[in-house]
Structure 1
Amino acid sequence: MKKYLFCLGLMLAGVAHADELADANALFAKKAYPQALQLYTKLANAGNAEAQLHMGEMYFYGEAGTVDLAKAEAWFKKSAAKGNKTAAGSLEMIKKREARRADLDYWIGKYDGADLTTGQFRCPAPRIPAMSKQNEEIESVSAKVAAWQDCYNGFVRNLNEASPLTKRIPKDVADLLTKEETEQSRVYLEGVYAGIAENAKVSAKLVLADFGAWRSATDAYIKEHNRIVTEAATTAPRKGD
């Protein structure tokens, strides 16, 4: 009789844990994370493998209040030890994170956008004199500015297509980022993009300003030169006079 009552007690405890786990899952689904964490903690400490998995996930993604990878790994290990395959997969992901730490750090705070400003997208400003008097130089300056403009337009198109820069993060790296790291990366890359765009805008304004000043000065010179030539031609004595 005692054995029967003992087994019945275990069955009732299992039902109670199942109900609490369902309650915890419902709270988590509603994003009531503090309340969900409280129930998961109780169940996890009692040895519930699924609750231990959720504890690991909440610490991994920061839903426990902060990201704590050490606690996440500890809970994943406890859950995996009870045969939870998802927890085992999470431990494998943590190993991959350790192996790819340099790649994670690169996209979180070291990427500089050099691939967007070098090679075919490097558009050095052409040298523009204050004024040109010879046709050859006028044609040369015009050609250099046109080539720069083609390069700059290509740079702008590529920069627009690259936005947002988070698209450049390799998928196998992006999959290893925590939510907090993903947000850090997004903010950092937005800053990199803004910096590249602003530098390009400033450079373009300077080139166009120099080109505009050169064209005005050159046009004024040509106009004055033509006036002098025309005036000289009209005032020169004709043959036979």
Structure 2
Amino acid sequence: MFPIRDHNPSQSRPVVVPALIVANVAIFLLTLPLDQTSARLWTELALYPAAVMQGDLLWGLLTHMFLHAGLLHLAGNMLFLWIFGDNLEDQFGRLGFLLFYIACGLAAAGAQIAAEPDPGVPMVGASGAIAGVMGGYLLLFPRARVDVLVIVVVLVRVIALPAWLMLLGWFGLQLAAGYAMSGAGGGVAYWAHAGGFAAGVVLTLARFLWLGGPAFWTRTHGQPPHPPSRFAPSRIPPVRRP
């Protein structure tokens, strides 16, 4: 399942979210393996858990959030940030959202280091920080609708799911994969995803309580506090194998 958009428009124009996307794309282009300089830059900016445990290369805790291991890795992360980030920026303000994003990324890195202090491979990617954005979104807008592209072998279709179902399902998969792959490597930082998501929920609690806590959910029924976006029905037809 791939989310392609939500029905939760932000009330202000996002600035930090597109700036983060531009920064990630720019650094991805700078670190493409074109020559020794770009390769060395990627190597020096990655996060090495074993080194961090020894107090070395600490800048990787921040810089790894802007590195990606390939085009699909980058595109997937930026899609999730674009879908869910604008509403969190709307709630926290620009500076507040930037600090929230970085804090979630640091928490994600901490969770991965605690789970696998010496994985043998460097850690890169914005997914831990973006998982935090998803956790905050879940707390504030659990019933906002998210359009999801579903691909089941021979069937392709777009369906609208409540955010709580899509996000909790995603979080559950990270936990399950983290336990299943514990100690086996595999190249995916599942515990960073889970840790970032949990940090996002915790760091959003203050905003949630300021809005009224459970009373906010009562007022909004867990949906966006303003009219949701409306889209024409999907034109993607079911695709079946001949």
What interval of TM-score do these two structures reach, taking the shorter chain for normalisation?
under 0.3
Q: Which has the higher strand share?
A: 2
TM-score by length of 2: 0.22
Q: Which has the higher helix share?
A: 1
Select the structure with the greater relative contact order (CA < 8 A; seq sep ≥ 6): 2
